[in-house]
Amino acid sequence: GCNYGLPLSSPVSTRKEAGGQRISVCVRKRPLTYAENRRGEADVVTAHDGDSVVVHESKEAVDLTQYILQHRFNYDEVFGEESSNVDVYLKTAFPLIQHVLNGGKATCFAYGQTGAGKTHTMLGCPPQRQGLYALAARDIFTQLHSTQDCGNSTVPSHVYVYVSFFEIYCGQLYDLLDCRKRLFAREDGHQVVQIAGLREVKVESVNSLLEVILWGTGERTQGVSGVNPVSSRSHALLQIQLRDSGNRATGKMSFVDLAGSERAADSRDPDRLSRMEGAEINQSLLALKECIRSLDQEQSHTPFRQSKLTQVLKDSFVGDSKTCMIANVSPSHLATKHTLNTLRYADRVKELGGGGGRRRPTVTPSPSPKHDQTSSSGTSASRG
Ligand code: ADP
Ligand code: MG
């Protein structure tokens, strides 16, 4: 495993932590894959200075000459293709873990088009390359064990870890830890959304948590038959729930591997089912954006009822909950349109937050062609 040896008692301070922000929006660019390199696809995305990203969009003028538009966006963090899951973890989910151990709620979303790296980030390729699920679980167990040993922390002395894993497909819930059993979410008398019958598995180590996750992931891909893997059309929600000895919920960390964002644009798909799926995904991603924004602005009204996704995450959009969004993008010139859509979405999530210092996206024509489909745009795909 990877040993980055950072004590949880001195959490990495990030810019937004210092400013007390509750949402952070980050971008992760993956490297060109081996196959993309072989096909000669160009890398048109450049990560700069840890917080900005530039997309070099190839355009054709009326006289058929080619020119390049440079789109620059700024976020809380931008991870280039050389960054590892551990690098991403330390600046995204890690700052949320202490909040969860103190009884709070936090959510980490992976957003982006199919193939952009959402599952690579969240799940990784365990056990060799762990993703955010395992890295977070490891820190939760380490911290619980160390505080339970020396008893000098704010974490209650007996805290138990439970995991649930379900997916939302076409607005319906399926339990990935219970043979894809259909589940129903309801608001109880205290306006708390409950998922009746959701299976929660008690886990006592990172390895047993990983086993549970891998089991659920297997359920995920077997799902409904069809041309496209169901995983690109559904949202997967992994929740790590902490409970005290009285079985009271104390803190909750949710990870959401969202449906492929390109599916939200499938409104003209000739296939009726695809259109329906696309409309549902579109609705949930719009609602998600609004709910995160309202959390950031401490609005009294959160439109969480607008989709099943936001409804089941209701408790993550209220109170002192914290949220992190990781927008994943592909570097390939063939994905430029979807990459720009993803970056614009992530930008809108942040739009009203972050105070007056926010830098707006810019578009500038490039004086000389940045890429001609054969250059590597000055960024070599290094795999760490
Ligand atoms: P998504 O879940 O968004 O559809 P995946 O995570 O399955 O995308 O990634 C698509 C492909 O790209 C996979 O083969 C994956 O291993 C590879 N990949 C994604 N992100 C990275 C990365 N940061 N470094 C190396 N390979 C990556
Ligand atoms: Mg995936």
Average pLDDT for 36-51? 95
pLDDT of residue 373: 43
pLDDT of residue 328: 98
Ligand nearest to the CA of 115: 1
Average pLDDT for 57-76? 93
Substitution site in 30, 130, 326 for ligand 1 pocket (most atoms within 8 Å of beta carbon) = 30
Q: Which residues line ligand 1 (CB under 6 A)?
A: 30-31, 33, 112, 114-120, 328, 383
What pLDDT, in 10s, does the model give residues 118-142? 999 999 987 788 999 999 999 999 9
Ligand 2 center–CA 77 separation, angstroms: 22
Average pLDDT over all residues of the chain: 84
- Burial-class residue 329 by CB neighbours within 10 Å (0-12, 13-18, 19+): buried
Residues near ion ligand 2 (Cβ under 5 Å)? 118-119
117 annotated ligand binder = yes
Ligand 2 center–CA 140 separation, angstroms: 24
Residue 281 has pLDDT above 80, yes or no: yes
Residue 13 has pLDDT above 60, yes or no: no
Predicted confidence band at 162 (pLDDT cuts at 50, 70, 90)?
very high
pLDDT of residue 275: 84
Complex ipTM, two decimals? 0.99
Ligand 1 center–CA 47 separation, angstroms: 17
